Amino acid sequence: MSNEGKRVKVHYVGTLDDGTEFDSSVKRGEPIEFTCMAGQMIPGFDAAVKDMEKDETKTVHIPADQAYGERDEQLVQKVPADQIPNADQLPVGQTVYMQGPGGQPFPVKVVSMEDGIVTFDMNHELAGQALNFEITLVEICD
């Protein structure tokens, strides 16, 4: 039976192909809850949960195009530091939040600050990477 449109709770452990763990609801001790196939999760994760049964565990490999997408070099932007308030306080190598056209905050990584130019990377930190998940369907809420 399909879980499409149903609220579900799952536990998961996410790893990269080299085995590096990047996220785990198990370590947080709290499953995540979402509506299956409603676009709240990356497409490959949604698809994996869609036909699972309660208490089922599965391991899935999700290619980049079904995760956070391929890396897009057009999302790396160079901005003159004099156009950025408090540019000298930007933490190089860290993520900061900027405001989009609708006022929504979005994360960007401060890549470098050289010769009066700040380089920002707006790609998701996992863009371009295949992801692996061990998923356990804990509860079907509807």
**6-69+126-141 matches 73-121 in fold:** no
C-alpha 16/C-alpha 133 separation (Å) is 9
C-alpha 39/C-alpha 91 separation (Å) is 32
Predicted confidence (pLDDT) at residue 142 exceeds the cutoff of 80: no
The string of pLDDT tens digits covering residues 62-114 is 999 999 999 999 999 999 999 988 898 999 999 999 888 888 898 999 999 99
C-alpha 37/C-alpha 35 separation (Å) is 6
Q: Which CATH class is domain 73-121?
A: mainly beta
Q: Are 53 and 109 in contact (CB under 8 A)?
A: no
The string of pLDDT tens digits covering residues 15-41 is 999 999 999 999 999 999 999 999 999
Q: Please tell me the predicted confidence (pLDDT) of residue 99.
A: 84
Fold that domain 6-69+126-141 belongs to in CATH: Chitinase A; domain 3 (3.10.50)
The string of pLDDT tens digits covering residues 129-141 is 999 999 999 999 9
C-alpha 90/C-alpha 1 separation (Å) is 50
Q: Which tokens go with 37?
A: 């196939």
Q: Where are the domains of the chain?
A: 6-69+126-141, 73-121
Model-level pTM? Answer: 0.81
Which amino acid is located at 77 in the chain?
Answer: Q
Binned at pLDDT 50, 70 and 90, residue 1 comes out as: confident
C-alpha 125/C-alpha 127 separation (Å) is 6
- Given the DSSP bridges, would you call strands 95-99 and 76-80 parallel, antiparallel or unpaired? unpaired
